[in-house]
Amino acid sequence: MSDPIPWLILLPLLWGLLSFLLGVGRGGRLAIVCLVIQLALVALLVGQVVAEKDRYYAVGGWSAPLGIDLHVDGLASVMLLLTHVVILPLGIYARSYFSHNVEGVGYFWPMLGLLLAALNTLFMSADIFNIYVTLELLGLAAVGLVGTAGNTRSILAAIRYLLVTLLGSGVYLAGVALIYGSYGSVALAVLEPLIENEVSVAVFLAAILMLVGLLLKTALFPFHFWLPSAHGGAPTPVSALLSALVIKASFYLILRMWLGLYAPLATIQAAQLLGGLGAVAILWGSIMAFNQTRLKMLAAYSTVAQIGYFFLLFPLITEVGSEAAEIAMQGGVIQLVAHALAKAAMFAAAGVMILSMGKDDIALLSGISSRLPLTLFTFALAGVTLMGLPPTGGFIAKWLLISSAVSSGQWGWVVVMILGGLLSAGYVFKVLRQALLPAAAEMKFRPVNPSLEWPAFLLTFISLSLSFASNNVLNILGAG
């Protein structure tokens, strides 16, 4: 196992298959043991990347353009490490959550194995067709997870998600077909120098198609219409996975292609358009979150808003000075990591409170502070990260992004980020205010297993610690 790259794909497929063979609802212990092993494998791989720079793996011994290459650099290492740091606590949380039999576990564990294998492959893929395959696998696994509960709401959310993910993948594939028809290759290493030398009409159309397909999957405004129902209607562990990790995968691809394959098309006009959509997402998503009466829907619309911050990165790294672009890139990556940790913790904490109340209703939170103080504290810390207040990783990210915007003279984005932080405070404090009120006399809270509370707290604690470990993340990012 000197090369961990193939095992990051094979191992989750193996334990996912074994979980399926064990039967409905089985495989939780096996999954958690294997997730621990995979975290160790990722740590080994990250150490290799830091020491040796980029790592390549030729599948079956055949490298591109004849075969398939897997490539791991600094950015891919950060995403792989983030994925496994988030998914292990969520796996422990999910096992305890489903033990309450609130929503059927179904084939959660096999779907989780497939999801993780798809995520790992996507982050390491080095050709655009292989990326399409991983997008399809990721989307289908996510759809299966959304429908795990088996009730009407989750099935409808899963069907809507399925239609969107198929549409997004299909539009992306049309772009891949145009590129292959023009150059006869799908390997990024082959395509990048060719497109750099000449941008044809076919390449331009392919870039638009692939971008639109990925924007649909990322749920950037106005392509967000599917996200609230999917994230709000899925079982809570699934909601946390979707918000923390799945939407990050398609954004990662957009960023990769912006900096690599389609760099010649990365104009300031296109960057400003993406930034503008991100700004609208921040403001509109935050307002919608504040207006929600269900706790999970509040967290879902919060995700719509937070996605907007990712897209503010593009005008801050395009046609500006190298120093400002580097600062923005660092801020954007820290924002990705901080949001994944905080949003996983927020959804997990929300799920614990909903289990205790017996209903997803913010108005019923009164008195929850005395029954679940650790869970409410977790929710509050996650909210502080989303607001971008010190000493969280969210503060470091927004500080870097604002610094880049100031140094490049783009003051409009500074205003958007400050307003976004204030609006985030609005919907977070709405929940906290209700939770700190005394409980109604007729309100009866159900007891909750403490094993549900601690994984959520661990996630938010890591997010809090990110402010002190941000240099380590940036060292990994710079390793490639």
User: Tens digits of per-residue pLDDT, 113-142?
Assistant: 999 999 999 999 888 899 999 999 999 999
Contact (Cβ atoms closer than 8 angstroms) between residue 236 and residue 347 = yes
**Residue-number span of the structural domain to which 308 is assigned:** 275-480
Quote the tokens at residue 433. Answer: 């205010």
Mean pLDDT of the chain: 87
- Any domain includes 18: no
Domain count, the chain: 1
**For residue 66, how far is the Cα from the chain centroid?**
32
- Any domain includes 355: yes
Q: How many CB atoms lie within 10 A of CB 250?
A: 25
Integer Cα distance of 182 and 200 in angstroms? 9
Task: Estimate the crossing angle of helix 74-99 against helix 28-52, to 10 degrees.
Answer: 170
- Any domain includes 105: no
- Whether residue 189 has pLDDT greater than 90: no
Contact (Cβ atoms closer than 8 angstroms) between residue 214 and residue 252 = no
- Whether residue 53 has pLDDT greater than 90: no
- Any domain includes 407: yes
Q: How many CB atoms lie within 10 A of CB 205?
A: 14
- Any domain includes 171: no
Quote the tokens at residue 325. Answer: 């672009």
Q: Which band of pLDDT confidence, cut at 50, 70 and 90, is reported for residue 182?
A: confident
Contact (Cβ atoms closer than 8 angstroms) between residue 54 and residue 309 = no
Question: Token match 């954004």: residue?
Answer: 251
- Any domain includes 11: no
Burial 305-327 (b: 16+ CB within 10 A, else e): bbbbbbbbbbbbbbebeeebbbb
- Any domain includes 49: no
pLDDT at 442: 65
Q: What percent of the chain has pLDDT over 70?
A: 96
pTM greater than 0.85: yes
- Any domain includes 36: no
Q: Nearest Cα to 252, choosing from 155, 121, 344?
A: 121
